[in-house]
Amino acid sequence: MFRSIIRCAALLCAVFSCTVSAADAGLTVDDPYVRLAPPGAQATGAFMTIRNSGSADRKLVKAESTAAKMVQLHNHINENGVMKMRQVDSIDIKANAQTELKPGSYHVMLIDLTAPLKEGDAVPITLTFDDGTRTQITAPVRKQAMTMPAGKAMNHGDMAN
């Protein structure tokens, strides 16, 4: 009797986790943060790791936040040795893989901040994926050391300098 209950629970669990991962599309967001903008800067980047445990390739197609008047998906490209930002329509998150949004690569760009951000502030960001799934995350504002090699020009959020 007890054993059959356990078996039943295990089965239910298997059924449910399957249902849940279909509902949330198997996407999880790890370690989101917003980079503390230099004083006076009107824009900064949000970074995170998006993991896709599902068997279908997915795309991040939109990001929204009340912290900025405009939110865009961006990538950095190296153009003749100069890092430049480009807006992109979507960011791929391949099946059973993860995409890191990080400085010098893909990021969520917060443009025209509605209020100056301080270290430790919690920034709400809503992510929309290609199947219409929306995920709300909270990204703390963090001071971040540049991870780019020193001396490389990078016109990212530091236009005030």
- Site of interaction with Cu ion (CB under 5 A): 74, 85, 109
- Closest approach of Cβ 87 to Cu ion, in Å? 8
Output 25 or 156, the one with its CB closest to Cu ion: 156
Output 26 or 47, the one with its CB closest to Cu ion: 47
- Closest approach of Cβ 8 to Cu ion, in Å? 51
Which sign does the torsion angle of CA 12, 54, 73, 117 carry?
A: positive
SS3 90: coil
Output 67 or 109, the one with its CB closest to Cu ion: 109
Helix (H) or strand (E) holding 9: helix 2-23
Output 25 or 108, the one with its CB closest to Cu ion: 108
d(CA 9, CA 88): 45
Cβ atoms of residues 113 and 159 within 8 Å: no
- Closest approach of Cβ 74 to Cu ion, in Å? 3
d(CA 122, CA 143): 13
Output 77 or 122, the one with its CB closest to Cu ion: 77
3-state secondary structure 10-42: HHHHHHHHHHHHHHCCCEEEEEEEEECCCCCCC
- Closest approach of Cβ 23 to Cu ion, in Å? 31
- Closest approach of Cβ 100 to Cu ion, in Å? 15
- Name the one residue in this structure whose structure tokens are 């903008």: 37
